[in-house]
Chains A and B, each alone.
Chain A
Amino acid sequence: MKRLLDIVRLRLRSLFGRTNVERELERELSFHLDQLTEENFALGMSGQDARAAAKRSLGGVSQIQESCRDMRRTNHIGTLWNDLRYAIRTLGRTPGFTFVIVLTLALSIGANSAIFSVIQGVLLRPLPFAQPDRLLRVYFQSDSQPKFPLNPNDFRDFRERNRTFESIAALTRHDVQLSGSGADPVMLRGFTVTGGYFHTLGLTPFRGRDFTFDDELAERGRLAILSDHLWRSRFSADPNILGRKITLNTETFTIVGIMGPDVQHPGNNFQAVADGDTVDLWMPFALYDYPGDRGSHYLDTFARLKPGATQAEANADLSTVLQQLMKEHTGRGWRIYTIPLYQETVGRSKRMLFVLLAAVGLLLLIACVNAANLLLARSSARVREIAVRSALGAARGRIVRQLLTESLVIALAGAALGTVLAYGGVRVLVSFLPAGFPRASAIRLDATVFAFTLIVALLTGLLFGLVPALTASRTDLQNSLRESGRSATGGAGQLRLRNFLVVGETGLACVLLIAAGLMLHSFVNLLRADSGFQPQQVLTASLSLPMQRYRPMPKRVAFYKQLLDSLAALPGVQYAGAGTDLPWTGYDGNADGYKIEGRSDGYNSKTTARYHAATPDYFRTLGIPLVRGRFFDGREDYVSDFAGVIIVNESMANRYWPGEDAIGKRISFRSRPKEKDWMQIIGIVRDVKDEPNSTTNHPAFWLPHSQQPDPNMLVVMRSSTDPALLANQFRLAVRQLDPELAVADLRTMNQISSSALSTQRFSLFLVGLFALLALVLATFGMYGVISYSVNQRMHEFGLRMALGARPADLLRLILGQGLQLSILGAAAGLLCAAALTKLLGSLLYGVSATDPVTFSAVALLSLGTTTLACYFPARRAASADPMHSLRSE
């Protein structure tokens, strides 16, 4: 141990106490010299002779010194320092070259760092819960429902009977209106959660307590846990808030806890709220309020595996319980579906992120090839310098090391500048991320990203530096020194290498261009596709009537009828309606197992359709056209005689009444099986896609709001002018009816449809940007190679002209040379692209991964830019002066 310390101390001394060490060595050797001299003197030599003989016998002092330095092993650090200074000086002498090469590397390294920081934040960083790998999402599954939420009673049975979970908890969306305390009423994003919800996620309240099973009793459940941001923004971070009463939906709740600032919502599926700091408060779920109901499914369920238990064991365990339940109650062909929380959270973003990573990786590769090409061109201009250095005794390894140091300096400078770009880039990136992108808040430049950048820079430096360095150091000494600068070329081998690099660069750029082209094509398809509704000039807002004051259903019907009537009377408003949901907002509530009149099938899960309620003018406002029949007329009544009616979409009509007219047909639900509850189809509307890129349409039906008076509705207004101008009038209209009602989510339908396309727009924008950069780099690469070869051959061109070649011949010669490389590159690129574009998968819409239009367009684009890149060098070649060449011959 002491020896190690000694070694470290001595190395440090050799490194930093250089002058001291050197001086000591000098003293030591001069002592030796004196001793020798004295000995010689004693042997009888004269003073001068003795000294001279001593010097002879000692030999070259500086050689001894140098080999002592070698022995101290610190010499190469000194060499590195020298190389660094030399590299910086050399690069500083050609600022234009250095600027171009550093900038291209900075752009591509910066892009890599930025995309990697997204991947690090979203995919690599562990979820913000304790031991997140033990957390599972639990769903029901049937032939028609891939992921169905749980029913409260089923949940409770799972909680009591499972053997594989340490704990299991569920939550469901329950937005509430906070009023009182002087301020305007505000809608809060809330969830009701089962006892031990936070415990299951591994979170503990910052103050106060988690909910217990006792809190699940309805009479005890007027409790709330606040999020950190709500506590700060609405309650000015009052430290004594525990126990305080607040008014939610006009009822009194007691605050029992506050969560810390880093507590995140894990994301949920039913009435989805994105993960992150997206929830304002939590209330207990009244688990015992629904005796006998096994049909309503709305609980998003999380479970924590016992240590050592596996997902497969959990599946088997829950399936056993489910079998029991289906025997005890009416069974309906359900299965258990579990998925690790991590996969559930980031699964859908993975492909897009990997596509982006692949794109920036390609870009970096192109930048490397470009840098290698530039360095090669430079090293042929430095042939003489290198030859002189070898002649003066520099070993080949020493020259390679010097040149590699140069490329590493370039790469590190690129990385430094790239990090600055990435710092800004990540902020822009995050602000442009598609709405609801998982874990967006976890994205930032951190130590891992810096380490990644550094490693990428070092690898890049080696990658683009090694080939030029090895080539340059293999210089034929005699030739280079003998020949004058005129023909100091790198020879045919080097030209071949550079041609190869340009072909590779063009090919890689083509791959990126094709990816971008396919995505652009898809995006245009999406914009052109018939969405089934007309989003222009529609304003939307969400309202939620507090159940306490609007428990009687006629009251809810009356409220919305009055509101919509007053809205429709506003100047500039064409139609006003309300529905339980809006197109393209991710709604996927389904009604399962209805019975079709005249069919022998009982209630089963084979009949399924999206389930909505709407007011009469909902369809006209959104521009959803009627195919046959009629819209609701507002005379549908809930109370008297209940003549149930529904409107269905084309998909539902075609699937369940193929070849028949669905108008007048009737269906009924298990929960309302009586004869008077049968519902008759009065109208068929056009299909509206679930998502812009849905390839199939789901069957769907609408109940009139007057027969299904949901308190939470989305109000829509079609304006004859800019819909955003209606916002204030809308607020006013709401306030006149009920001053305590909060208006939330005021958006235009255009905003909604635009954010539904945000994933595609985002990835198209980035891949397009990278492809553009790649094209620019490849064009510069081509220009560099052709321009260089023209410079080398100017003499030859002069001779050709003298022998009768016309300028057009030379122009054709050079363009031909460029086109040859470009065609090779494009061909290689198209082949690679054909193999790779399948990976774009769901990012494509309405276009095949080997779309011939895109492929040929990119090939033409690549050939076009190449021709452009070759044109200027070719013009120079064509202007070769025959007299000049002849005179110098």
Chain B
Amino acid sequence: MSRSSDLIQGTLDLLILNTISLQPEHGWAIAKRIQQVSNEVLQVSQGALYPALHRLEQQGWIKADWRVTESGRDAKFYALTRAGRVQLQKVLAQWDRLSNAVGLVIRIGAAQ
């Protein structure tokens, strides 16, 4: 049951939800995209990615179906459900609050 992730618990969910909010993606593409967009800072391990996807699916935030990729292969694509969209807004708002707060603390600490 080890979840070897450097990301704060819950952050991975946020990243996944956000990544597929534009268009449905398969697991590989989600990992790649997070890596690229973060300038290779955030590396999502497969050991964390797939359990997270399954958890989100079980919670009803995302749904999955099998589609054909551009290269002509079968892959499992994940898309946001309506509930997932609402959840994403909630999580984003939470994240904003949290990062603002952390930022404030750090800045005040630096000013002293």
B43-83 interface bits toward A, Cβ cutoff 8 Å, 1 = contact, 0 = none: 00111001110110111100100000000011110000111
- A34-B73, A70-B1, A71-B51 as given contacts; A59 in contact with B60, CB under 8 Å: no
A806 near B: Cβ within 8 Å?
no
A67 and B3: CB pair below 8 A? Answer: yes
Are B74 and A27 closer than 8 Å at their CB atoms?
yes
Q: Is B28 an interface residue (CB 8 A)?
A: yes
What are the residues of chain A within 8 A of B2 when measuring CB–CB? 63, 67
Cα distance, A27 to B75, chains bound together (Å):
8
A36, B73: Cα distance in complex, Å: 14
Contact: B3 with A59, CB < 8 Å?
A: no
Contact B83 A29 (CB under 8 A): no
Contacts of B50 in A (CB 8 A): 25, 28-29, 64, 67-68
Q: Do B60 and A32 touch across chains, with their CB atoms under 8 A apart?
A: no
Bound-state CA distance A11–B57 (Å) is 10
How many angstroms between the C-alpha atoms of A57 and B82 in the bound complex?
34
Measured in the bound complex, the distance between the Cα atoms of B43 and A746 in whole Å is: 97
- Bound together, the chains give a CA A34 to CA B28 distance in angstroms of 10
- Does A35 belong to the interface (CB within 8 Å)? yes
Query: Do A10 and B73 touch (CB < 8 A)?
Result: no
Bound-state Cα–Cα, A7 to B54, Å: 12
Any chain B CB within 8 A of the CB of A549?
no
Cβ distance A620 to chain B, nearest Cβ, rounded Å: 90
> Could you tell me if B58 and A3 are in contact, using CB atoms closer than 8 angstroms?
no
Can you list, as one digit per residue, whether each of A1-43 has a CB less than 8 Å from chain B (1) or not (0)? 0111011001100100000000011011101101110000000
Chain B residues near A67: list those with CB within 8 A: 1-3, 47, 50-51
Of the candidates A2, A31, A36, the one whose C-beta lies within 8 Å of that of B74 is A31
Shortest Cβ distance from residue A725 to the other chain B in the assembled complex, whole angstroms: 82
Q: Given known contacts A31-B76, A32-B46, is B55 in contact with A3 (CB within 8 Å)?
A: no
Contact B76 A10 (CB under 8 A): no
Total inter-chain residue pairs, C-beta < 8 Å: 74
Find B60's partner among A4, A68, A70 (CB 8 Å cutoff).
A4
Q: Give bound CA distance, A35 to B81, whole Å.
A: 26
Judging by beta carbons under 8 Å apart, are A2 and B82 in contact?
Answer: yes
Bound together, the chains give a CA A34 to CA B74 distance in angstroms of 11
Q: A27-B74, A31-B26 are known contacts. Are A3 and B81 too (CB-CB below 8 A)? A: yes
Nearest chain-A residue to B73 (Cβ)? A31
Assembly CA distance A399 to B82 (angstroms): 42
Chain A residues lying within 8 Å of B75, measured Cβ to Cβ, are: 28, 31
* CB pair A6 B74 closer than 8 Å: no
Q: Which residues of B contact A71 (CB under 8 A)?
A: 51-52, 54-55, 58
Smallest distance from the beta carbon of A24 to chain B beta carbons, Å?
A: 7
The chain A residue with its CB closest to the CB of B57 is: A10
Is A7 within 8 A of B76, CB to CB? Answer: no
State the interface size on chain A (CB cutoff 8 A): 31
Q: Tell yes or no: A89 within 8 A of B by CB.
A: no
A29 vs B73: C-alpha distance when bound (angstroms): 13
Q: What is the bound-complex CA distance between A885 and B54, given in angstroms?
A: 61
CA distance A759 to B3 in the complex (A): 68
| A232 interface contact, C-beta 8 A | no
Distance in Å: Cβ of A336 to nearest Cβ of chain B: 65
> Does A73 sit within 8 A of B, measured CB to CB?
yes
A67 to B47, CA, bound (A): 8
Question: Of B46, B59, B74, which one neighbours A59 at CB under 8 angstroms?
Answer: B46
Residues of chain B within 8 A (CB-CB) of A64 are: 46-47, 50-51
Interface size class of B (residues with CB under 8 A): 20 to 34
CB A476 to nearest CB in B, in angstroms, measures 26
Residues of chain B contacted by A6 (CB below 8 angstroms): 60, 63, 81
How many angstroms between the C-alpha atoms of A73 and B28 in the bound complex? 24
Q: Enumerate chain A residues within 8 angstroms of B59, measured Cβ to Cβ.
A: 7
**Known A6-B81, A58-B46, A64-B47: A28·B60 in contact at CB below 8 Å:** no
B47 touches A63 (CB 8 A): yes
| Docked CA distance A832–B85 (Å) | 65
Contacts of A66 in B (CB 8 A): 1
Known: A27-B76, A31-B73. A7 touches B51 (CB 8 A): no
Other-chain residue from B27, B51, B55, B58 in contact with A32 (beta carbon distance below 8 A): B27
Quick one: closest B residue to A14, CB to CB?
A: B58
A66 and B47 CA atoms in complex are apart in Å by: 10
Q: For the complex, is A294 an interface residue (Cβ under 8 Å from B)?
A: no
Tell me which of B45, B46, B58, B74 contacts A73 (CB under 8 A): B58
Least distance between B8 CB and chain A CB atoms (Å): 18
Interface centre among A27, A32, A66, A73 (most CB of B within 10 A): A32
B83 engages A35 (CB within 8 Å): no
Complex contacts, A2 vs chain B, CB 8 Å = 81-83
CA distance A28 to B58 in the complex (A): 17
Nearest Cβ on chain B to A221's Cβ, whole angstroms: 73
- Complex: how many Å from CA A67 to CA B51? 6
A670 contacts partner chain B, Cβ-Cβ < 8 Å: no
CB interface residues, A 230-283, toward B, < 8 Å? none
Of all chain A residues, the one with the shortest Cβ separation from B86 is A3
Which of B27, B45, B46, B58 is A7 in contact with, Cβ under 8 Å? B58
Q: B19-55: which residues lie under 8 A (CB-CB) from chain A?
A: 26-28, 45-47, 50-52, 54-55
Closest CB in chain B relative to A15 CB, distance in Å: 12
Interface string of A47-72 (1 = CB under 8 A from B): 00000000001111001101110111
**How far, in angstroms, from A28 to B31 measured CA to CA in the complex?**
14
Closest chain-B Cβ to A137's Cβ sits at a distance in Å of 59
Q: How far is the CA of A240 from the CA of B57 in the complex (A)?
A: 68
CB distance from A90 to the nearest CB of B (A): 26
Give A32 to B54 CA distance when docked, in angstroms. 15
Inter-chain contact A35/B28, CB cutoff 8 Å: yes
Closest A residue, CB atoms, query B3 = A67
Query: What chain B residues lie within 8 Å of A59 (beta carbons)?
Result: 45-47
> What is the CB-to-nearest-CB distance from B103 to chain A, in angstroms, rounded to a whole number?
32
Contact partner, A11, options B51, B58, B83, Cβ 8 Å: B58
Distance in Å from the Cβ of B55 to the closest Cβ of chain A? 4
Most interface-central of B3, B47, B82 (chain A CB within 10 A): B47
* CB neighbours of A58 from chain B (8 A): 46
In the assembled complex, the CB of A28 is this many whole angstroms from the nearest CB of chain B, namely 5
**Distance of A761 Cα from B6 Cα, bound (Å):** 76
Q: How far is the CA of A72 from the CA of B55 in the complex (A)?
A: 6
| Most chain A CB atoms below 10 A, which of B45, B54, B60, B75 | B54
Q: Would A72 and B54 count as touching, CB distance under 8 A?
A: yes
Inter-subunit contact B76/A28 (CB<8 Å):
yes
Near A by CB (< 8 A), chain B positions 80-108 give 81-83
Does A72 contact B28, Cβ atoms closer than 8 Å? no
Q: Per-position contact with B for A827-853: 1 when CB-CB < 8 Å, else 0?
A: 000000000000000000000000000
Inter-chain contacts of A70 with B (CB < 8 A): 1, 51
State A142–B76 Cα separation when bound (angstroms): 88
CA of A29 to CA of B74, assembled, Å = 12
Q: Cα distance A661–B59 when bound, in Å?
A: 96
A72 and B83 in contact, given A31-B73, A64-B50, A67-B1 (Cβ under 8 angstroms): no
Say whether B58 contacts A10, CB under 8 Å.
yes
- Closest chain B CB from A589 CB (angstroms): 76
CA distance A71 to B3 in the complex (A): 11
Q: State the CA gap A24–B47 with chains docked (Å).
A: 16
Which residues from chain B sit less than 8 Å from chain A, CB to CB? 1-3, 26-28, 45-47, 50-52, 54-55, 57-60, 63, 73-76, 81-83
A-B contact pairs, 27 of them (CB 8 A): A2-B81, A2-B83, A4-B60, A6-B63, A7-B58, A10-B58, A11-B58, A28-B27, A28-B76, A29-B50, A31-B28, A31-B74, A32-B28, A34-B73, A59-B45, A60-B47, A63-B2, A63-B47, A64-B46, A64-B50, A64-B51, A67-B51, A68-B54, A70-B1, A71-B54, A71-B58, A72-B54
Give chain A's interface residues, CB within 8 Å of chain B: 2-4, 6-7, 10-11, 14, 24-25, 27-29, 31-32, 34-36, 57-60, 63-64, 66-68, 70-73
Extra 14 A-B pairs, beta carbons < 8 Å, given A32-B28, A71-B54: A2-B81, A3-B60, A7-B60, A11-B58, A14-B58, A27-B74, A28-B50, A32-B27, A57-B46, A58-B46, A59-B46, A66-B1, A67-B1, A71-B58
Q: Report, nearest first, the 4 A-B pairs whose CB atoms are least far apart.
A: A3-B60, A71-B55, A71-B54, A3-B83
